[in-house]
């Protein structure tokens, strides 16, 4: 009915309506999956969702954003304010690595990759901070140094890929895609040949695997994938969709990126790590002007 109102010119379309509708679709999918797996859905999520939809549809003209803010709070448990802005995470990164010359060297390589223009400056630290923050929220099941090393070198192989391929605005050919896929070997091989970094090498080798087994290079699934690789995959995706790229001139809002990642829970990403990621974003990356 909301979409019908827009088509008839009775309601002005706002980008946040798209996020709201997508969140509704995700909730419906989750309820269906729960019904299939458990035979029932606890509580009254359907009634709650219908009430949320009705509240949004019944809002007065000019109150759309306020109604959508409230609706998103009820749907995802974290209010997405129309005045949302990002802030630096609360994890204090020790970036000098004075006590670990290997990490200092790995960091230097990663920053040089950022400076080459392959990625935006600041990408390495953004991904590292998100990984370490999520690991902390999980009570640090992954060794911090190993995770840090893996973040630094997980894409170092991209330095050997032609800029023409990396910056290609159109769809990649099969051969070009195979070339891109090959980037993980350099980082994993480099780390595996250095004493003490075997675990980090495994993370790098597996950071393009998927929870459902449809990733690469070995089609690993579920618990076969190293937990650190799962975190890097999450952080990598989050950064990619919230920043412009050669093949995509737009970027998603923080909330849209979180919604997209939650939509891949149980398929691309491990559900447990998606939940931890949600908490990390809520605690460390979002501030609301209306709460200050």
pLDDT tens for each residue of 215-226: 999 999 999 999
pLDDT of 289 above 80: no
**Which residue is listed with tokens 């995509």?**
248
d(C-alpha 155, C-alpha 150), whole Å? 9
- Break the chain into its structural domains and give their ranges: 2-82, 101-291
Continuous segment of H or E residues that includes residue 83 = none
Continuous segment of H or E residues that includes residue 80 = none
Q: Could you report the per-residue pLDDT of 136-162, keeping only the tens digit for each?
A: 989 889 999 999 999 999 988 887 777
- CATH architecture designation of domain 101-291: Orthogonal Bundle (1.10)
Q: Could you report the per-residue pLDDT of 253-280, keeping only the tens digit for each?
A: 677 778 888 889 999 999 999 988 888 8
The helix/strand/coil state of 265 is: strand
The helix/strand/coil state of 157 is: helix
Among the ranges given (88-92, 157-161, 212-216, 235-239), the one the predictor scored with the smallest mean pLDDT: 88-92
pLDDT of 288 above 50: no
The number of C-alpha atoms within 13 Å of 85 and in the hemisphere containing its C-beta is 6
The helix/strand/coil state of 75 is: helix
Confidence of residue 131 (pLDDT cuts 50, 70, 90): very high
Alpha-carbon dihedral 211, 158, 106, 230, rounded to 10 degrees: -10
d(C-alpha 73, C-alpha 153), whole Å? 37
pLDDT of residue 235: 93
d(C-alpha 174, C-alpha 153), whole Å? 25
d(C-alpha 174, C-alpha 4), whole Å? 41
Among the ranges given (57-66, 68-77, 140-149), the one the predictor scored with the smallest mean pLDDT: 68-77
Say which residue, 164 or 269, is predicted with more confidence. 269
Q: Could you report the per-residue pLDDT of 170-205, keeping only the tens digit for each?
A: 788 888 888 888 888 888 999 999 999 999 999 999
pTM: 0.67
Query: What are the E-state strand segments in the chain?
Result: 85-86, 286-287
Q: What is the mean pLDDT of residues 82-111?
A: 67
pLDDT of 22 above 70: no
Confidence of residue 88 (pLDDT cuts 50, 70, 90): very low
Give percent of the chain with pLDDT exceeding 90: 31
């Amino acid at each position: 009915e909301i979409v019908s109102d827009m088509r008839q010119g009775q309601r002005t379309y706002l980008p946040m309506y798209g996020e709201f509708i997508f969140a509704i679709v995700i909730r419906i999918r989750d309820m269906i999956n729960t019904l299939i797996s458990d035979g029932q859905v606890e509580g009254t999520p359907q009634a709650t969702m219908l009430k949320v939809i009705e509240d949004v549809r019944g809002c007065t003209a000019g109150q759309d954003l306020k109604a959508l803010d409230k609706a998103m709070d009820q749907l995802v448990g974290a209010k997405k304010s129309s005045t949302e802005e990002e802030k630096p995470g609360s994890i204090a990164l020790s970036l000098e690595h004075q006590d670990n010359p290997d990490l200092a060297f790995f960091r230097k390589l990663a920053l040089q990759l950022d400076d080459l223009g392959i990625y935006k400056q600041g990408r390495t630290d953004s991904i590292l901070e998100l990984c370490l923050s999520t690991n902390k929220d999980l009570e640090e099941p992954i060794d911090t140094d190993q995770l840090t090393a893996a973040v630094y070198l997980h894409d170092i192989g991209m330095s050997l890929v032609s800029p023409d391929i990396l910056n290609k605005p159109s769809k990649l050919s099969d051969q070009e895609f195979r070339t891109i896929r090959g980037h993980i070997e350099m980082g994993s091989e480099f780390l595996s040949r250095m004493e003490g970094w075997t675990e980090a090498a495994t993370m790098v080798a597996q950071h393009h695997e998927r929870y459902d087994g449809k990733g690469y290079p070995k089609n690993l699934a579920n618990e076969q994938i190293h937990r650190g690789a799962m975190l890097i995959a999450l952080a990598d995706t989050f950064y990619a969709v919230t920043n412009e790229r050669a093949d995509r001139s737009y970027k998603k809002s923080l909330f849209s990126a979180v919604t997209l990642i939650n939509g891949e829970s149980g398929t691309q990403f491990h559900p447990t790590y998606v939940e931890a990621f949600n908490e990390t974003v809520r605690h460390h990356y979002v501030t609301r002007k209306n709460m200050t």
